[in-house]
Amino acid sequence: MDLVMLKMLVESFLTIYWVYPLILFAYYGFEVIATRKVARKNTDYPLIGTWAPFTPRVIHNLIFAGKAVKILEEGYRKFKNKAFRLIRNEGSIVILPNCLLEELSLLPSNIASPHGALEHDLLGHYTGLNLILESRLHHSIVQRKLTPRLGLVTPGLENELQSAFEDYFPECDDWIEFQPYQVFGKVSARLSARALVGPGLCRHPTWLDISVNYTENLFRTIVILRLFPAWMHPLICYSLPSYWYCNQYVRKAKSLLSPIFRDLIRKSDDGLWSPQGTAEDSNVLCWLADTAKGRDRDADTLAHVEVLLALASVHTTLLRMVNVLYDTTANPEYFDELQAEIQGLNDSQNVWDTTSYSKLEKLDSVLRESQRMSPPTTLGLKRLFKEPYTFSNGMHIPKGTYVCLPTFAIENDPDNTTNPEVFDGLRSYRLRQRKKHGNMQQHSTRNDDHLFSSMEPTVLNFGYGKTACPGRHFASLVIKILFVKLLSEYDFKFLPGMGRPKNLMAHEFLFCWPWQKMLVRRKKDGICPF
C-alpha cells in the first residue's frame, strides 16, 4: 500500500512538474504571437515602449503601467509631429501629434467616438460605466443646467463647506497632524452632493459612501484588470472585491434615488411640479427629473447617471484639492500672495458672491500650474474610430483604432511652457496681465485664455472643443471656495524633514499620495469672507 501511494505521489509530482511549465510556455507563446500580430497592424506608425522582439504584450503593459510618463515623453520628443504607437493588453493605441488637434476635435461621434473611448478605457462592462454608450444625459445636464446656474448653487456650496468643516476638519488652535486626502475626500463628496442631489440628501451617509467609494473601487478594478489581456478580464474580475463593490454601489444608488426620481417624474408628468429656482430644487437631481426625455426618463437610469456624475466630480476635485495644498505648502511664498489677493478683493467689494471667485486670478493661476504638473491623466482627446478616416495631412486611421494625444508631454514641452520642471504659481497670471496690457500678441480674442478652466491648443487637461469637460467650471468654483476658506483661516506646513510627496502612477493615470500627513493650525485672526 505504501509503495502504491509513493508511486502515485511521484506520478503526480512529475505530472505537475511538466504540465505547469507546459501551460506557462503555451501562454507565453500565445502572448508573443498576439503581440507580433498587434505590432504588424498600423505599421505606418512607429512603435515605442518595446523591450525586446519577443516580449509578450503583458510585459509591455506592465512596463507602461509603471513608466507611462517617461515612455510617452520619449515618444513625443522623438516623433513630435508624427503619430506613433504603443502596445497594451487590449491592442495597440495610436498617439496622434498635436497638429491634428483641431481636426480631431471636430469629428462627429459617429466617426470618432469619445464615449466609446472612455468606456473602453474605464472598462465600462465591468465597472458600471457602459451607460455612457447609451445616454449623453450626464454631459448635457451639466452643460445646459448646472454650469449656467452656478450663481444659484454657490451660496449652498459655501454653506455646505462651513458645515463640512465643522464635521470633518480638526480643531487646531495649535499645530496638529491631519491627512489632507482623507479630510478633503469627505469635503469634496459633500460639496459635490450639494449640487448633485440637493440639500435633502447631500449629507445622507449612503450617498456619501457611494460617491466616494464607487470611484475608489472603480479605479482599483481598472488598474488590476488592465494588467492582464482582455480575454482574461471575465475570469479575473469575479475574483476582485472591487468589481463586486462597484456593482453593489450602483444598486445602492438606485435603491436610494429611484423612488425619489419616480415620485418627481410622476408629479412632473401630471403638471404638479417643476423646479422653481429655489435653494431646495436648484440641483442636478431636480433638473434630471424635469428635463429627461425618452428612454432616459427612467428612475433607475437617472439614479445611474447620478453615480456617473459623482465619479466625474468627487475624485477629480479631490485630486486637485490635495495637489494644490501640497504645491502651495512646498512653495510657501504663495500663501501670503494668495491671502493678500483674497483679503484685498473682500475689502474692495460690498458683498462676497459668485463673481468674486472669477476675480481671484492669482489663485486661478496656482490651480492651473498645479494641474500642469500633476494632471489626473497623461493622455487626452481619446477617440475610438467607428469608421475609417483620413486626416487632411493624409494620415489614415482604420476602423476600430483607438487614438489619443499625449497631453502631459504637449503642455510640458519647453516650446510650450518655459522651464516646465519649475512650479511657477503665477505663470498664467503673468500671461493674462501681459495680454491685458497689450504686451503680447494673442492668437485668440477670448478673455478666458490662461485660466484654470480654459481650453487651449497646448493645455488639454479638460479636453478641447465641443466635447471638453462640461464640469470644469463647477470644479473650478468648488476648489476656489475651499481654498478661500483654507487660506483665510488656516496655516499649513509639512512635518519636520518631509516635503511634497511624489505622485503615484498607474498606467496613464496620476494619483496624489493619499497617506501624507501634514500640520495645520487655525489663524488667530483669520476670517473667511463668506
Average pLDDT, the chain: 90
Q: Return the pLDDT at 25.
A: 52
Per-residue pLDDT reduced to its tens digit, 227-246: 888 888 998 999 999 999 99
For residue 506, the cross-strand partners are: 509
Q: Return the pLDDT at 9.
A: 54
Per-residue pLDDT reduced to its tens digit, 97-123: 999 999 999 999 999 999 999 999 889
Q: Return the pLDDT at 44.
A: 77
Q: Which amino acid is at 250?
A: V
Residue 445: pLDDT band with limits 50, 70, 90? very low
> What are the two backbone dihedrals, phi and then psi, of residue 92, each rounded to the nearest 5 degrees?
-95, 150
Q: Look at phi and psi of residue 370 and say left if phi exceeds 0, alpha if psi is from -120 to 50, else beta.
A: alpha
What percent of the chain is predicted at pLDDT more than 70?
89
Q: Return the pLDDT at 294.
A: 95
> At 516, is the secondary structure helix, strand, or coil?
coil
Distance CA 469, CA 381 (A): 11
Q: Return the pLDDT at 202.
A: 98
The arithmetic mean of pLDDT across residues 280-293, rounded, is: 97
Q: How many residues does the chain have?
A: 530
Residue 11: pLDDT band with limits 50, 70, 90? low
Of 277 and 25, the structure prediction assigns the larger pLDDT to 277
Distance CA 390, CA 392 (A): 7
* 439, pLDDT greater than 80: no
Q: Return the pLDDT at 10.
A: 55
Of 17-31, 55-69, 414-428, 452-466, the one with minimum mean pLDDT is 17-31
* 485, pLDDT greater than 70: yes
The DSSP call for residue 418 is S
Q: Return the pLDDT at 58.
A: 76
Per-residue pLDDT reduced to its tens digit, 323-350: 999 999 999 999 999 999 999 999 999 8
Distance CA 108, CA 342 (A): 43
Q: Return the pLDDT at 8.
A: 57
What are the b/e assignments for 291-307, b being 16+ CB within 10 Å?
bbeeebbbbbbbbbbbb
Of 188-192, 257-261, 421-425, 434-438, the one with minimum mean pLDDT is 434-438
Domain boundary assignment for the chain: 96-522
For residue 48, the cross-strand partners are: 86
Of 317-321, 354-358, 447-451, the one with minimum mean pLDDT is 447-451
Cell of 101: 488637434
What percent of the chain is predicted at pLDDT more than 90?
77
* 4, pLDDT greater than 90: no
Q: Return the pLDDT at 20.
A: 46
CA distances from 510 to 65, 76, 319, 514 (A): 11, 18, 9, 12
Q: Return the pLDDT at 30.
A: 55
Q: Return the pLDDT at 530.
A: 95
Q: Tell me whether residue 469 is annotated as binding.
A: yes
Per-residue pLDDT reduced to its tens digit, 351-365: 999 999 999 999 999
Domain 96-522 adopts which CATH fold? Answer: Cytochrome p450 (1.10.630)
